Amino acid sequence: MRAGLFFLNFVFSVVFLPALHAQAPPQTALINRDAAMYNEDNQKLYLVDQIHNQIVAISSSDSSQVIPVGSAPIALALNPTTGMLYVVNSGSRNVSVIDTHKDAVVATVPTAARPYAIAVDVSSNRVYVSNTFSNMLTVVDGKTNAAKNLPTGSADVILVGDRQHVYLFGYESDTVTELNPDTGVMTKLSAGAMHLWGAVLDKQTLYISHVQGKSLATIDLATHSIQNFTTGNMPCAIVQSKKTGHLYVANYADGTVSVFGENRKLATIPVSPHPQALTLDEEVGLLYVASPQQNSITAIDTRTNHVRKTYSGLEHPYAVGVNLSNHHAYSINLAENSWTALQPAEAY
């Protein structure tokens, strides 16, 4: 697990901040890309509120309620089959289990150390949790909430594949660990370069950004072959369209978003400086790009690849959540005001 400089660390890592205002958040905080989760079953959007140790549930009518959880919640993962929402509490070193049918915590599961990244395998009803500065991966049985720890190595990102394999990697690495949780067998896959950041798993293809290499790696998980595409400077966050297959890459140092499709770069879109997080609302064709250092979010029309709207005057927005029932978007802030409703910027 990496820690350190202010740049880029809003997306995944430890942040060292000056005082923001009289009621500033703590000087050190773990910030995770999975800070929002939409539940199609109850049409609610769930956001982390790290400062106040709670989860905010926002309904399709825009009403909100809070659910108290452990200390410093940073990440969410949902099992849509069971309706259980899993909350990584980095401060209290555990995972809160929320039953979204009643929006109440029904269990608290201890982790091996300070938890960070989380992923759910719906088919096996398992939950995987990495631990900061630890080589242990906590595996939670979704049926019993019993946990066991596996020595897999530290990981900043966890992805679950179609074959129930788990993929883990960290920033200070040039490899990806493929774990078969049933057998415990781990395979090291080359990622092509050091300093891995964003990732997207699409069936048998894994996409990873090389934040110091100006490139996006495409890894064939069947053959382990790698193909690199040139991005902008310091590519970090990645998101993929399920409709078109297009990949969007935030380039931190360039202040741009690269668009890839059909094995080539399709466009380069200028946005607010230092973009670090991406959220795609496919149905309305909007890509939200968070620039926490600029206190702004850029909304891109994915049909035209032009900027539709820029939201300014926010409070260090490090992620965006979208309620897909009404397409209302919310910034998640590293501030006393943990979230902000964004005015609509319809594209289609």
pLDDT in tens, 263-321: 899 999 999 999 999 999 999 999 999 999 999 999 999 999 999 999 999 999 999 99
Single out the residue of 23, 49, 6 nearest to residue 321, CA to CA: 49
Mean pLDDT value across residues 79-83:
98
Average pLDDT over residues 181-209: 89
Listed in sequence order, the residues at least 6 apart from 67 whose beta carbon sits closer than 8 Å to its beta carbon are 54, 55, 56, 57, 98, 103, 104, 105
pLDDT more than 70, % of the chain: 90
pLDDT for 188:
92
- Does any domain span residue 224? yes
Segment 88-110, tens digit of pLDDT: 999 999 999 999 999 999 999 99
In a domain, 7, yes or no: no
Instruction: Report the pLDDT value the prediction gives residue 33, as an integer from 0 to 100.
Output: 80
Residue 5 has pLDDT above 70, yes or no: no
According to DSSP, residue 343 is labeled P
| Lowest mean pLDDT segment, chosen from 2-11, 125-134, 191-200, 224-233 | 2-11
Q: What is the CATH number of the domain that holds 295?
A: 2.130.10.10
Average pLDDT over residues 169-188: 87
Is 135 contained in some domain? Answer: yes
**Pick from 49-53, 222-226, 279-283: least confident:** 222-226
Q: What is the mean pLDDT of the chain?
A: 88
pLDDT of amino acid 31: 65
User: Locate tokens 């946990």: which residue?
Assistant: 147
Q: How many domains does the chain have?
A: 1
Highest mean pLDDT among 158-172, 205-219, 297-311: 297-311
Mean pLDDT calculated for residue range 28-46: 87
User: Is residue 8 domain-resident?
Assistant: no
The domain of 261 spans 27-341
Is residue 183 situated within a structural domain?
yes
Give a yes or no: residue 20 inside a domain.
no
195-200-203 Cα angle (round to 5): 130
Looking at residue 164, what is its pLDDT?
A: 75
The torsion angles phi and psi of 85, rounded to 5 degrees, stand at -105, 130
Position 163 in a domain: yes
The pLDDT value recorded for residue 30 is: 58
- Asked if residue 263 belongs to a domain, the reply is yes
> What is the rounded average pLDDT of the residues 72-95?
98
Q: Which amino acid is at 161?
A: G
